[in-house]
Amino acid sequence: MPEPSPATPTASLAGMQAAFDALLAPTGFQRTRKMLWVQRHAHTASFVFLQREGAGRASIDTSLTLRLQAGVRVLDSGFPALALNGPDSQDALLALRESRFHLRFNLASGHGSERCLTDLERYTAEVLLPWFARFAAPEALLAAPSFIPAAGLQCDAALNDDDKACLRHALQHGADPARLAASLTLLGIKTRA
């Protein structure tokens, strides 16, 4: 896996993006936007955001902290954004303290970048991919408890009640073309003309 070169946040983040591309490609995820990876299914799409913590704010130190946020989008959902209804690395750092995921490193010296890459791989293998596998089938999404946004890490939940209703509707009647198009746009999935 390519290792990021210590320097600027942009160069370091580009290195981590390339590493994440290589990590997710064998599992069927493709990068559709700069920081978004998507795996499309018949009625849903799994997605992961990789972001620099504190992006958009002036850096007060020389460290780069990564945050992974994930979710499952019901393609027939009318929600106007991608709901982050999956594992979030910040919640995992609190709930899974014994795992000691270390998702930051020093930009100036590069210290910790190898560990960050290793833990990015480990977090993906131990938390993200099992969660996505658990909720790959629509039946599993419908049978799971409803997702509660403020509840922290919820490895046994994925969809809220509204999205479950949208999924049931799509399974019984097919997806609404306008909702499907809006979901694909949000996910950065280009449709063939």
| DSSP element (H, E) containing 161 | helix 161-173
Q: Is residue 193 part of a domain?
A: no
Q: Match 């490609």 to its residue by tokens.
A: 25
**In the predicted structure, residue 157 carries a pLDDT above the cut 90:** no
Residue 56 has pLDDT above 90, yes or no: no
On average, the pLDDT of the chain sits at 85
Choice among 16-20, 138-142, 154-158, 168-172 with the minimum mean pLDDT: 154-158
Contact residues for 46 (Cβ-Cβ < 8 A; gap 6+): 29, 38, 39, 70, 71, 72, 73, 86, 132, 135, 136
What are 3-12's pLDDT values in tens digits?
544 456 777 7
The pLDDT value given to residue 5: 46
Q: State how many domains the chain has.
A: 1
Question: So what's the pLDDT on residue 186?
Answer: 97
**Does 73 reside within a domain?**
yes
What does the alpha-carbon distance between residue 89 and residue 111 come to, in Å, rounded to a whole number? 21
Q: d(Cα 74, Cα 170) in Å, to the nearest integer?
A: 9
4 assigned to some structural domain = no
For residue 94, is pLDDT > 70? no
Looking at residue 101, its pLDDT comes to: 82
Across the chain, how many H-helices and E-strands are there? Answer: 7, 5
Does position 144 have pLDDT exceeding 60, yes or no? Answer: yes
∠ CA 85-88-91, rounded to 5°: 115
Q: Is residue 44 part of a domain?
A: yes
Residue 162: the pLDDT is 95
Mean pLDDT in residue range 149-177: 88
Is 128 within the bounds of a domain?
yes
151 in any annotated domain: yes
What is the residue range of 44's domain? 9-187
Residue 95 covered by a domain: yes
- Res 59: pLDDT: 53
Q: Would you place residue 49 in the very low, low, confident or very high pLDDT band (cuts 50, 70, 90)?
A: very high
Q: Residue 75 CB: number of other CB atoms within 10 A?
A: 24
Q: Is residue 182 part of a domain?
A: yes
Host H or E run for residue 118: helix 113-123
Query: What pLDDT was estimated at residue 60?
Result: 56
Q: Which residue has the higher pLDDT, 82 or 154?
A: 82
Instruction: Kindly tell me if the per-residue pLDDT of 107 is higher than 70.
Output: yes
> Per-residue pLDDT for 155 more than 80?
no
